[in-house]
Amino acid sequence: MKLDEVVISRAIIERYTEKLVECLDLDVAVAGAGPSGLVAAYYLAKAGRKVAVFERKLSVGGGMWGGGMMFNEIVVQEEARPILEELEIETRSYLENYYTADSIECISTLTSKAIKAGARIFNLISVEDVMIRDNQVTGLVINWSAVDVAGLHVDPLTIRTRFVIEATGHPVEIMKVIERKVDAKLLTVSGRIEGEKSMWADAAETATLMHTREAFPGVYVCGMSANATFGSYRMGPIFGGMLLSGKKVAEAVNRRLG
């Protein structure tokens, strides 16, 4: 049978549109498809929640692909290993409490498991703003990343959601928009973004979990954006905190959804 280019085009446009329209009204919208955002999406989808992830770049995975300084291995500690086991990602013991995993296997498997659990992942879409009602975030304002890169004057579209998970990592973009545009204090000590501090892996890993919580009504922070929001250290290529943070935020949001 001959192939028709127009049928191919129509199939792509129709199927993509179906997916996007389905996601106009969500239980949870995740901004950023790094390790913490993907883990959060996986557990929420597994719990039966309607969840979608919006990722600015062509590839998902954020800072995990490159391991440490482009050596594509990551380190996780004992506490986080059950998450990798559940995902069927192989870990190798290095020293007591230190395990290594192939960063490519981690991201590709995690992404696949999240999608198979029911999460929708949209790449090439940037979150540029939030929707607000009565001092509560009720949606994400999205646009093609290409519009942003080209500096085109094109209005965005909006996704309604019961909760947002801010997983944009070091730049903590969603909280920055809220801080800049919403006339209200964040749920931090100063009421503003406290800012990320320099490297201290041990303190940062503990702090990541402690700071994984609601940072503005309707918005939970996880991963590096939790540390940037609540003012803690960076940890470099140890990823246990990112994985545990993604799981913790999923559990917290799942409880809130009732």
Q: Which residues contact ligand 48F (rule: CB under 6 A)?
A: 31-37, 54-57, 62-64, 126-127, 167-171, 173, 223-225, 234-235, 237, 239, 242
Helix (H, G, I), strand (E, B) or coil at 139: strand
Nearer to ligand 48F, 31 or 164 (CB): 31
- Residue 62 Cβ, how far from ligand 48F at the closest point, in Å? 2
- Residue 5 Cβ, how far from ligand 48F at the closest point, in Å? 31
- Residue 40 Cβ, how far from ligand 48F at the closest point, in Å? 9
Nearer to ligand 48F, 31 or 87 (CB): 31
Show the 3-state SS of 187-223.
CCCCCCCCCCEEECHHHHHHHHHHCCCEEECCEEECC
Nearer to ligand 48F, 89 or 235 (CB): 235
The identity of residue 167, as a single letter, is: A
Helix (H, G, I), strand (E, B) or coil at 71: strand
- Residue 168 Cβ, how far from ligand 48F at the closest point, in Å? 4
Contact between 205 and 245 (Cβ < 8 Å): no
**What's the start-to-end Cα distance of the chain, in Å?**
51
Nearer to ligand 48F, 7 or 32 (CB): 32
Cβ neighbours of 114 (radius 10 Å): 29
